Amino acid sequence: MEKNKRAIFYAVLAAVCYGISIPVSALLLSRINPTFMAALLYLGAACGMLLLKWVRLSPPNTQEASLSRAEGWYVAGMILLDIAAPVLLMWGLLLSTPATVSLLNNFEIVATALIAWLAFKEAVGSRIWVALALITLASILLSVQNWRELSFSLGALLVLLACVCWGLENNCTRMISLKSPLQIVLLKGLGSGGGALILAAVGGAVHWPGVAIIAAALSLGAVAYGGSVYCYILAQRDLGAARTSAYYALAPFVGVILSFLLVEQALSLSFVIASLFMVAGVYLVVCERHSHPHTHLPLAHTHRHNHHDGHHNHSHSYPVNGEHSHYHVHEMLTHEHVHQPDLHHTHSH
């Protein structure tokens, strides 16, 4: 349970960090092209990770495992999707309101869960499906611009498409979440930021609005993308992709509050109704408790771990204390406890 509480703390912290991105990005987009803005956000994330590595904020007694060649496909997919998603989001933000975009970002939960279930066989129960239905309904309410003629907002559709890209990216990241989060975010930042920068340069969108504006965009990226993804990966290790995204749904509400404070946007009836559906959906996921007898099949991999979680029972020929990282083998094990669909709990139901 202590491990789950820590994971939930990381998920909520990731949500708070990301929540500030939409309203602040909306202010900066008046001075920066959307594609260039997307590049600066991810490059800012890379700068934030380099600063984190330099000041050595990570606990010195922990040793994270590095990515391997076998995980290259997941890394490549993660980077390509992280190029497309923020570009789509920034253009959607330019064509819509910050509060609406903030709340629409919750559709990422639906996309992440569906992809986790269909492609990666992650367990998704009836409670989660009801929650996803509520969040989807809220997303539809926010996407329809004119109910009489049923016309859709282009900005909202671009945001939903960005959410699908991030949903697939979340699942790619989940498959490597046991490895060093600093290394993963650094690769995300440099790869995705560099790719978006090339797109911006080819499209003639790169311009310099001033040192202060560029610095603001990079700083926002360091916190809202770098810090957020770093904490998100730590949460994914223990909660799985679908459930971490559910906690991440707190981010849009942080964004909505800031939107009303910074942009002074008025509330609409559809927005209020959508918010209620979103809150109900998130509540169902947060209150889920999953426990049953299950069997762990033999597994061998490398990641940071300790010998107090009931799953790492291998022995050492040398003394170990606390968390450490090395190649180890899990023998077959059958037991029952409250668990989440992390990479140690991939059994079927």
Q: Please list the rounded mean pLDDT of every run of 10 residues in the chain (349 residues).
A: 76 88 88 92 93 66 74 92 92 83 77 82 74 76 58 81 91 85 90 93 85 94 92 82 71 73 67 80 71 69 69 73 71 65 60
Tell me how far CA of residue 291 lies from CA of 128, 175, 234, 337, 338, in angstroms: 15, 23, 22, 5, 4
**In terms of domains, do 305 and 242 share one?**
no
> Residue 78: inside a domain, yes or no?
yes
**In terms of domains, do 287 and 302 share one?**
no
Tokens encoding 84: 């497309």
**In terms of domains, do 141 and 161 share one?**
yes
pLDDT of residue 209: 86
**In terms of domains, do 163 and 80 share one?**
yes
Closest CA to 94 of 47, 11, 35: 35
**In terms of domains, do 107 and 38 share one?**
yes
**In terms of domains, do 277 and 315 share one?**
no
pLDDT of residue 170: 86
Name the burial class of residue 147, with classes exposed (0-12), middle (13-18) and buried (19+) by CB atoms within 10 angstroms of its CB. exposed
For the chain, the first-to-last Cα distance in angstroms comes to: 22
pLDDT of residue 244: 77
C-beta separation of 37 from 29 below 8 A:
yes
> Residue 98: inside a domain, yes or no?
yes
**In terms of domains, do 78 and 152 share one?**
yes
pLDDT of residue 309: 67
**In terms of domains, do 219 and 325 share one?**
no
Report the SS3 class of residue 157: helix
C-beta separation of 90 from 37 below 8 A:
yes
pTM of the full structure: 0.74
pLDDT of residue 232: 86
Domain total in the chain: 2
pLDDT of residue 348: 65
> Residue 109: inside a domain, yes or no?
yes
**In terms of domains, do 177 and 310 share one?**
no
Q: Which residues contact 206 (CB under 8 A, 6 or more apart)?
A: 33, 36, 197, 200
> Residue 89: inside a domain, yes or no?
yes
**In terms of domains, do 298 and 288 share one?**
no
**In terms of domains, do 100 and 191 share one?**
yes
Tokens encoding 120: 């990666």
> Residue 347: inside a domain, yes or no?
no
> Residue 348: inside a domain, yes or no?
no
> Residue 346: inside a domain, yes or no?
no
**In terms of domains, do 310 and 334 share one?**
yes
SS3 for 176-192 is CCCCCHHHHHHHHHHHH
> Residue 345: inside a domain, yes or no?
no
Domain that includes residue 143, residue range: 2-292
